[in-house]
Each structure stands twice: as structure tokens, then as C-alpha cells.
A = this chain, B = another copy of it.
Amino acid sequence: MRGNLFAVAVDLVVLTVRDGALCGLLVQRAAPPYAGYWALPGGFVRPREDLRDTAARQLAELTRAATGDAVTGHLEQLASYATPDRDPRGRVLSVAHLALLPDLPEPVADPEAAVSAWRPIDETAGLAFDHDRILADGVERARAKLEYSTLAASFCPSEFTISELRRVYEAVWQTEIDPRNFSRKVTSTDGFLMPTESRAAGGRGRPAQLFRRGPATALSPPLTRLL
């Protein structure tokens, strides 16, 4: 079958919200090409592995999350990149995936002793390969999807308050949202938020009610992002 063979990699755009800023997970490359540069985490697809399995395996390595835990995150295919000279080693096609995670209490681990770090997405310029572009595409996908899906909850822990959810929107969109209108909107969307018995503790004001994610995936009508 033709001689045009490709190495196929999966690169991950892993996003979270910490301290009110949308952050991406980066690793520092130890070996050439681009040794010393920051890059998206990723790796090659194994011989009998499907793309999604490759992405899930790499994500698990990065977070060292026991699979038994409640899965609050989100993983989806983003796009593929195969410009002829994007990798000096040869023809490499990268199938980028987008992962949205809650701010992890345990620090993100480095599977192969590589240095990894969360970086605010507006301080990520200068990545290896075409990873600036891939990261920008992932961020834009996330921004768009918050409008018409319940995906913002993927950035929250399994139980969260409406304020936490609102701060996710504010961080991803870099907007301010009226807390009262936001509350009305999300609580009136059927299946978005399931109330729990407990309330948040440790805050400064009145303790807020805690919610879990409901079964709804779509928001209609959508939340409008107005910058």
C-alpha cells in the first residue's frame, strides 16, 4: 500500500481552571528535537491501540488517577495535524485530543521524569512543533463548547457550587457574569445540576448548596458569551 507511511502520535490539550485562570498542562522536552522546549504532552499510538485509548492512557499517566475514581473529566478528539515538515524526524501525524479536568488536588505527575507544569494559556507562546496552534485550537473548542453544552462541569470536582461553576465560565471566557442571572439560567436548565444535601464549608459568606452533574449534555437555549 503506497510508500507514504506516517508515524501517528496523540497530543493532549489538557485544560483546567486554577486561581481564576484557564491553564494548560505542558511538559518540558528532554530529548531532541526541540530539547528544552515546552510542548503538549503526547506520545505515539501503540500497534493495536485505538486513538481514544492512546489518549486515555496518556492522560492517566499524567494524572496518575486511579480508574476507580469518579470520572469528572472529559476527553474528546480535537483534530489531526500533518503538515509535511511539522516534525524534523519525518512524517508524523498528530491526532490532538482535548481533556478538561478539575483542578487536581494532587500535583500532576511526570510519567517519565519529565518536568510538567500548569501554565495560564496566555503565557504559553513558543511551544515546540506546531503546538501553539494546536493549543489555540483546543482552547477555542473549549470556549465554544461551554456555550451550548454542560461541559463546564467537567472543570469542577464531583460536588461543586453554582459560584464555582460560574467562575469556570468567567475564567474560560474572560468575562464577568451576573451571579443572579447565571444562577437562574443553570438551575432552570433541566438535568444540568442535581442538588445534594450538603453545603460548602470554609468560605467567607453564607455556605452555598453543593450540586452534582446531571444527565443533561446540551444547553438549549445556549449561554451567550458576550465579551
Contact = CB atoms under 8 A, between A and B. Distances in A.
A66 B95 CA distance: 32
Interface stretch (A77-85, A151-159, A161-169): A77-85
A181 to B, nearest CB: 16
A222 interface: yes
Contacts of A80: 51, 77, 80, 95
A184 to B, nearest CB: 17
Interface string A59-78: 00000000000000000010
Given A2-B7, A5-B6, A8-B93, 17 more contacts: A1-B7, A1-B44, A4-B44, A5-B7, A6-B8, A6-B93, A45-B82, A48-B84, A50-B82, A50-B83, A51-B80, A77-B80, A80-B80, A82-B95, A93-B93, A148-B148, A221-B222
A51 B82 contact: yes
User: Which of A8, A80, A93 has most B Cβ within 10 Å?
Assistant: A80
A93 B9 CA distance: 11
Interface in A192-227: 220-222, 224
Contact of A45 (B4, B147, B221): B4
A173 to B, nearest CB: 14
Nearest to A78: B79
14 contacts: A3-B47, A4-B7, A4-B8, A4-B47, A6-B7, A6-B93, A8-B82, A45-B82, A48-B84, A51-B81, A77-B79, A148-B222, A221-B224, A222-B222
A118 B75 CA distance: 35
Interface in A45-60: 45-51
Contacts of A48: 84
Interface in A84-132: 84, 89-93, 95
B50 A1 contact: no
Interface string A12-28: 00000000000000000
Contacts of A79: 77
Contacts of A89: 1
Nearest to A5: B5
A195 to B, nearest CB: 28
